[in-house]
Amino acid sequence: MNAMILHESSRGIDTYTPESSLLKKRILFFTEEVNAESSNRMIEYLLYLDTDAPGEEITICINSPGGEVISGLAVYDTIMGLKSPVRTICIGTAASMGSILFLSGEKREMLPHTKIMIHDPLISGLSGSKKALELEKEAAQLMEIRAVTAQIIADRSGHSLEEVYAKTKEDCYLTSAEAIDFGIATGIARSIL
C-alpha cells in the first residue's frame, strides 16, 4: 500500500508517505522476515538517523517472524555500534531472529498483548543426500550460531548461558509480563510515540 498524505502549508500542498513522516520522528518498522534485503534497508535507515542527529533516540517497532541469522546479526551489530540510543518495541510477535533484534534496544518495551519467541536456531531447507562430513560441518555451524544467539540472550537478559539453553531448547513464547520477568523486555509500552 502506497498511501500518500497531503499537507497544506504556506508553500502549497506537500505530499509524503506515512513512512517518511515516521522517519522524521526517528521511528522505524521491522515488520517482515529477516533477510538480506530487509536487513540492508534497516541498516541504511539506522546509519542515516545516527549521522543525522547522533545521540537522539531511535525507535524500532518489531513484528517479525525471524529469518536469516547472519542478516539479523548484521542489524544487531550495527545497532550496538550506533551513537544514538535505540528503543525497541514489540508490536506483535518478535520471533526467533526478530527476538534478537528486539534485544538490541537499550529500552526494550512490549505492547501489552504481544509475544516474544526465543529458541535454538534451526537449519531450514535441507534437501537431498548429504555426506557425513557435510552434515558434521553444518552441525558445527549450527552450534556456533546457537552459541552466539544464546550469548546475546544471556548478556541482555542477565541470565546464565545454561539458563538460556534450558529456556531455548524448544520454542519458548513469552507474554509481555513473562518477558519482563525473564529480563528480555524492560517494560510495557503504553505508547509508541
Active centre residues (catalytic): 96, 119
**Beta-carbon contacts of residue 89 (< 8 Å; ≥ 6 apart):** 59, 60, 61, 62, 109, 110, 111, 189, 192
- Where do the DSSP E strands lie in 45-146? 58-64, 86-95, 107-110, 115-118
Q: What is the spatial distance between Cα 20 and Cα 153, in angstroms, rounded to a whole number?
A: 32
Strands 115-118 and 172-175: antiparallel
Helix (H, G, I), strand (E, B) or coil at 159: coil
Q: What is the spatial distance between Cα 109 and Cα 131, in angstroms, rounded to a whole number?
A: 45
The number of angstroms, rounded, from the C-alpha of 35 to the middle of its chain's C-alpha atoms is: 12
